[in-house]
Structure 1
Amino acid sequence: MSSNFSRRAFIKKTSLGAAGAFIGMEALATGAAPALQLSGTPALLGGTPLMTKDNWVKWPVWIPETDEPLVLEALRSGVWSRAKLVARFEEEYARLLGAKRCLSTVNGTNALIVALNQLGVGAGDEVIVPPYTFVATIQAVLVNGAIPVFADIDPHTYQIDPVKIEEKITPRTKLILPVHILGMPADMDRIMAIAKKRNLLVLEDACQAHLAEIGGKKAGTIGHAGCFSFQTSKNLAIGEGGAIVSDDDDLMDRCFSYHNLGFPYGVAPGAVASGSVRIGGKTRMAEYQAAIGLVQLKRLEAQTRIRNENAVYLRKRLGNIPGIVPHRLYDNVTQAAYLLFAFRYQQDQFKGLSRDAFIKALSAEGVPVSSGYTPLNTQPFIRDALESKNFRSMYAGNLVAYKTYMAQNQCPQNEALCKEAVWITQNMLLGSAADMELIAGAIERIYKNADQIKKA
């Protein structure tokens, strides 16, 4: 089956939950792979690329005939602030996750800020965080006046290491903030056991982990609360948007109040007569955002299955190439989200070809990849926060002394990963089985010609 047919079938059938892109996966897995011109000249050296941008599903997926009616209805209604569609989106997303409550926000960053705030995180507190995450995770801690404490990662799963978490707990530790980074679940069983033993709160940053599962339970529903992002690149794409989920009614009532300028829970936007009961912000989701989210929700389960099946195949295939070390999942992971498919690149196995040159060569073959994150714990915004007037007034000098802080927050495993990681984006995992084989073939072509590419 051709890649183009696979994509057409996917677009047509995914809203019904069909995974049509996987016809032929079994044949590929048993060795009936398409013939690849691996011996040909690498594209970077003037050869023909193995793939083109047309191989990949365009993201975000948008089908005008099925997706636009609800959005147009929302726009034409004139009711654009939070109302019935936002409430409906929250109900459907909570039901999909198996959570009691969901509160939507304007973006995932503000979901984290609101949740941390209403979990009582503030001045004088420490929050244990991973160094391998997007900057928003750490900014949310700092905005609430708390100090992020970095616990290094597991080098195989890229997730925060529970052993390192225990080492970083102090009397000031208030909360553990695991991040299911790249859509691969953290070791929540061990993290929750640590939290219970040490009487700590757990907020899951599941912004990249829509429908990921640990032991059949959805990421974001295991800790005291969980947060999600619906930014355009995410698996549930709205453009901007976020959500908090929890089974704690009191917490969710407070979060609702905070995200609505501190008005009491249940007060509708624009109803100001009641007066505010707490400090708050204005982070409400709009109706047209919710309309986009509702139509995207219809595809999420089918897309997640496709990504996982492709990732399983690709991980096995790449594991046979010298110098390519695919990520691992914990044994209790029953489903990943795969916002990104990641592996470690070992340049010594590629005749000393640098990671940058490898990425350039692979991109030239029509497989656009990136190097991912740089270390967070060394970025200037940390120093800017610790040396700010607010932090100096909230903490004793030794707690915000930058040199001391840096010495206590070294993460060597993360630094090594940041030098070796290569990312493949989630929309590429929505391709066909043949596409996955072509990705592996492109890497093999570079491996076989690493000397010539390096010299060039």
Structure 2
Amino acid sequence: MKKKISRRNFVKYNSVAGLGTAAGLQITGDVFNIGKNSSSTPAILGGTPSMGHDWPDWPIWKPQIDEERVIEVIRSGVWSRAAVVKEFEEKWAETLGVKRCLTVVNGTNALNAALAQYEIGWGDEVLVTPYTFIASVSCILFNGAIPVFVDVDPETFQMDPAKIEEKITSNTAAILPVHILGLPCDMDPIMKIAKKHKLKVIEDACQGWLAEYDNKKLGTIGDAGCFSFQNSKNLPMGEGGAIVSNDDEFMDRCTSFHNYGNPYGSVSGEVGAGTIRIGTKLRITEYQAAIGLAQLKRLEDQTELRSKNAELLKGKIKDVPGILPYRLYDKTNRAAFHLFPFRYKEEEFKGLSRSKFLEALRAEGVPCSSGYRPLNKMPYLENAFNSKFYKKFYPSERLDYDSYAEVNECPLNDQLCDEAVWFTQNLLLGSKEDMNNIANAIEKIYKNAEKIK
């Protein structure tokens, strides 16, 4: 197996599992009319693996067409932010159909900066999903606010809009919808609730490049959107991120903030006054942008291929008892599929545990993971509440962690974290036969679950 497949090398091929399906389905041979050329004995029991070749490498780099621009930048000696970074920002904004784009060092700091420049912080609450990467929540704490967790819809893996309003208080300042796995949130009801309660909406689209909801690209629907270009991402630069918005004043503040708080656009002061705002240094380099421009040329075709293969694979595994693929919201035009998720019901697999199912899949040559653990139950929250900064600002009743934990219980997310299974996006860059082989691997495991157990 090649190693470059991952979200941080896909945690070395590990991590999430799946929710229920109707019991007692009668399975005909037609349901498993897939992968007939492969051995019926699972590889974990000594059979031939379903996959007979390596998966596509990630990231993809084509020296003959990709390196000229990067070498040109390196030889120029202009390595810090300049014209090439500006070119990438303009092309990414144009691609998304949004007015402005600002690149920053990573998606984490895109989120940090966006919250800060909408002045969301001490005393505020921000609504967020518990099923996400830590950066979606750490950015809230980084700015001194308190995360409030909205339970998920396990079928879609996303924040459930029907559970949002019950979490809104007089302290709520923003909703942070996370298009996790590259699957769009249901943005219409989220935007309606935000408008009703006068809340900012900052989209975490760090896994949502070119995905569309209601014919709008993710990241362009709320007040601002944030992206990541880390090495495992569908648009990789090694490290990098971006903030996008149609709000010129907000984008001017972000631009000032990412360059030490120096004047920019509408964020200006007296001539020669120097730094006028609190800021930091979040600028990316010219060679990062050159890598991003090379990757951007392929992104549309890759996104289409992932989408077609995801639909194909979903169709092949959806009738297997105990396998419940993701559901997309009705207004979703396209998902990005940074990850292909499904839920695994071990009762339907003769009690075969998720961990053993994952082991059997890997033996077939199919890298897979069990994904996220519940972010609303990790020690970083209590540690933040016990820090001298939080204790200095917040009254003790708002830092009562036991009460906070009780109010922020998300039982459906707990279930999802125990049942989800992921495939990384580079698997979806394979062939139709590769999708058949994945489905065949699952078929073999299902038919031999008792023996594997």
So what's the TM-score if we normalise by structure 1?
Answer: 0.90
Pick closer, same or farther for the CA change 1:395–1:30 going to 2, 3 Å.
Answer: closer
Partner-residue secondary structure (3-state), 1:372 = coil
Contact 2:39–2:48 (CA under 8 A) maintained in structure 1: no
- Cα shift at 1:308: 0.4
Identify the residue that residue 7 of structure 2 maps to in structure 1: none
- Cα shift at 1:46: 1.7
Alpha-carbon distance in structure 1 between the residues aligned to 2:239 and 2:245: 21
Alpha-carbon distance in structure 2 between the residues aligned to 1:327 and 1:82: 40
Q: How does 1:53-452 map to 2 (within 5 A)?
A: 54=54, 56-265=55-264, 274-452=273-451
Deviates more, 1:73-82 or 1:102-111: 73-82
Pick closer, same or farther for the CA change 1:392–1:30 going to 2, 3 Å.
Answer: closer
Percent identity for Structure 1 against Structure 2: 60
Give the counterpart letter for 1:197 in structure 2: K
- Cα shift at 1:52: 4.1
Pick closer, same or farther for the CA change 1:445–1:182 going to 2, 3 Å.
Answer: same
Alpha-carbon distance in structure 1 between the residues aligned to 2:174 and 2:422: 29
Alpha-carbon distance in structure 2 between the residues aligned to 1:164 and 1:70: 48
Identify the residue that residue 5 of structure 2 maps to in structure 1: none
Q: How does 1:3-42 map to 2 (within 5 A)?
A: 35-39=36-40, 41-42=41-42
1:217-257 CA distances to partner (integer Å, 9 max, x unpaired)?
00000000000000011100111000000000000000000
1:196-228 CA distances to partner (integer Å, 9 max, x unpaired)?
111111000000000010011000000000000
Contact 1:310–1:433 (CA under 8 A) maintained in structure 2: yes
Contact 1:263–1:274 (CA under 8 A) maintained in structure 2: no
Alpha-carbon distance in structure 2 between the residues aligned to 1:42 and 1:305: 32
- Cα shift at 1:36: 2.9
Alpha-carbon distance in structure 1 between the residues aligned to 2:75 and 2:137: 39
Pick closer, same or farther for the CA change 1:413–1:53 going to 2, 3 Å.
Answer: farther
Q: Which runs of 4+ in 1 moved over 6 A?
A: 29-32
1:296-324 CA distances to partner (integer Å, 9 max, x unpaired)?
00000000000000111111111011110
Partner-residue secondary structure (3-state), 2:340 = strand
- Cα shift at 1:37: 2.7
Partner-residue secondary structure (3-state), 1:377 = helix
Contact 1:38–1:441 (CA under 8 A) maintained in structure 2: no
Pick closer, same or farther for the CA change 1:444–1:38 going to 2, 3 Å.
Answer: farther
- Cα shift at 1:259: 0.7
Contact 1:97–1:211 (CA under 8 A) maintained in structure 2: yes
Give the counterpart letter for 1:315 in structure 2: K
RMSD between aligned residues: 1.7
- Cα shift at 1:38: 4.7
Give the counterpart letter for 1:50 in structure 2: S
Contact 1:38–1:444 (CA under 8 A) maintained in structure 2: no
Give the counterpart letter for 1:433 in structure 2: K
Structure with the bigger RCO (C-alpha within 8 Å, sep 6+) is 2
Alpha-carbon distance in structure 2 between the residues aligned to 1:298 and 1:345: 36
- Cα shift at 1:31: 10
Pick closer, same or farther for the CA change 1:83–1:278 going to 2, 3 Å.
Answer: same
Alpha-carbon distance in structure 1 between the residues aligned to 2:125 and 2:327: 29
Identify the residue that residue 21 of structure 2 maps to in structure 1: none
- Cα shift at 1:276: 1.0
Alpha-carbon distance in structure 1 between the residues aligned to 2:111 and 2:32: 46
Give the counterpart letter for 1:281 in structure 2: T
Deviates more, 1:393-402 or 1:234-243: 393-402
Alpha-carbon distance in structure 2 between the residues aligned to 1:274 and 1:260: 15
- Cα shift at 1:266: 5.9
Pick closer, same or farther for the CA change 1:90–1:274 going to 2, 3 Å.
Answer: farther
Pick closer, same or farther for the CA change 1:379–1:31 going to 2, 3 Å.
Answer: closer
Identify the residue that residue 45 of structure 2 maps to in structure 1: 45
Give the counterpart letter for 2:448 in structure 1: N
Alpha-carbon distance in structure 1 between the residues aligned to 2:348 and 2:258: 51
Alpha-carbon distance in structure 2 between the residues aligned to 1:373 and 1:405: 21
So what's the TM-score if we normalise by structure 2?
Answer: 0.91
1:414-456 CA distances to partner (integer Å, 9 max, x unpaired)?
00000000000000001111110110000000001111110xx
